[in-house]
Amino acid sequence: MRLRFIPLLPLLLLFVITGCQSEAGESENTSQPETKEWAIALHGGAGYVSKDMPEDRKQAYMESLEEALAIGSDILANGGSALDAIERTVNYLEDNELFNAGKGAVFTSEGKNELDAAIMDGSTLNAGAITGVTTVKNPISLARKVMTESKHVFFATDGAETFADQVDVERVDPSYFYTERRYQSLQRAQEQEKEESSNLLPETNEEKAWKYGTVGAVARDKDGNLAAATSTGGMTNKRYGRVGDVPIIGSGTYANDLVAVSATGWGEKIMLNVSAHTLAAYMEYKETSLQQSMDYLVDEVLEPGDAGFIAVDKYGNFSMKTNTGSMFRAATDSEGNKEIGIWE
pLDDT tens, 171-185? 999 999 999 999 999
Q: Which CATH fold topology does 39-343 show?
A: Glutamine Phosphoribosylpyrophosphate, subunit 1, domain 1 (3.60.20)
Distance CA 226, CA 313 (A): 8
Distance CA 283, CA 278 (A): 9
* Domains in the chain: boundaries: 39-343
Q: What distances in angstroms separate CA 100 from CA 39, 96, 232, 264, 309, one per listed residue?
A: 24, 9, 6, 11, 16
Q: What distances in angstroms separate CA 34 from CA 37, 82, 330, one per listed residue?
A: 10, 19, 22
Cα 8 off chain centre by: 62
Handedness of CA 239, 241, 243, 247 (dihedral sign): positive
**260 vs 198, higher pLDDT:** 260
Give tens-digit pLDDT for 51-92.
999 999 999 999 999 999 999 999 999 999 999 999 999 999
Element spanning 126, H or E: strand 126-133
Q: What percent of the chain has pLDDT over 70?
A: 86
DSSP string, 59-106: HHHHHHHHHHHHHHHHHHHTT--HHHHHHHHHHHHHH-TTSSSGGGPP
Active-site residues, by number, are: 214
- Pure H helices in the chain: 8-30, 55-77, 82-95, 139-149, 157-166, 180-194, 205-208, 267-272, 275-286, 290-295
User: Using an 8 Å Cβ cutoff, are 263 and 308 in contact?
Assistant: yes
Range from 7-11, 275-279, 309-313, 319-323 carrying the lowest mean pLDDT: 7-11
Handedness of CA 130, 94, 291, 225 (dihedral sign): negative
The full length of the chain comes to 344
User: Which of 123, 64, 83, 92 has the alpha carbon at shortest distance from 314?
Assistant: 123
193 falls in which pLDDT band (50, 70, 90)? confident
CA atoms within 13 A on the CB side of 271: 10
| 291: CB partners within 8 A, 6+ apart | 317, 319
50 falls in which pLDDT band (50, 70, 90)? confident
Q: Is the pTM of this model over 0.85?
A: yes
**CA end-to-end span of the chain:** 78
Q: Annotated binding site for substrate: which residue ranges?
A: 242-245, 264-267
User: Using an 8 Å Cβ cutoff, are 296 and 261 in contact?
Assistant: no
Q: Are strands 126-133 and 154-156 parallel, antiparallel or unpaired?
A: parallel
Q: What distances in angstroms separate CA 33 from CA 127, 201, 219, 267, 328, one per listed residue?
A: 28, 49, 18, 33, 28
**48 vs 236, higher pLDDT:** 236
> Is the predicted pLDDT of residue 207 greater than 60, yes or no?
no
User: Using an 8 Å Cβ cutoff, are 238 and 215 in contact?
Assistant: no
Q: What is the mean pLDDT of the chain?
A: 89
121, 222, 232, 297 alpha-carbon torsion, rounded to 10°: -80
Q: What is the pLDDT of residue 223?
A: 98
